[in-house]
Amino acid sequence: MECFALFKTAEFLKKKAACLLTVVDANYTKKALTSKEREQDLEEMIEIALESVVSIDKIADELDEIEEEILRRTKEMEDSFKPKKYKRIVNKGRSRTIRQIANRRNCRRKRRKNCN
């Protein structure tokens, strides 16, 4: 129940959450740990869990940096492939770009059909 509350609260706050569960007594084997064994075993488990969280946090930071670099490079590539804008020229009452006028001249020189 506590884990559910933890995860729901984290979801509501748009945060990340983790939960570590332990089993200290097994009802099906009727074996129970002494308080000394429980203290020693749980201490090791907590140390391992904390080390894991720290290493995962470092990896997450590295992944964030990589993601930012990818986004930056993607934006640079998109900017370099933007189409060029041509100045519009009004010629005999008809608006055309410089490229359209140049293409029309090339068509006339080569006497191509289906040129605009």
Q: What is the mean pLDDT of the segment spanning 12-36?
A: 78
Specify burial of residue 103 (Cβ count, 10 A radius: 0-12, 13-18, 19+): middle
Segment 92-106 shows an average pLDDT of 65
In whole angstroms, give the CA distance from residue 89 to residue 100: 10
How many Cβ atoms sit within 10 Å of the Cβ of residue 38? Answer: 14
Note the pLDDT tens digit of each residue in 29-62. Answer: 777 777 888 778 788 888 888 888 888 888 888 8
How do beta strands 31-32 and 88-91 pair? Answer: unpaired
Q: Which one has a higher pLDDT value, 110 or 51?
A: 51
- In the predicted model, is pLDDT for residue 113 greater than 60? no
Q: Say whether pLDDT at 68 is over 60.
A: yes
User: Whole-angstrom Cα distance, residue 23 to residue 26?
Assistant: 7
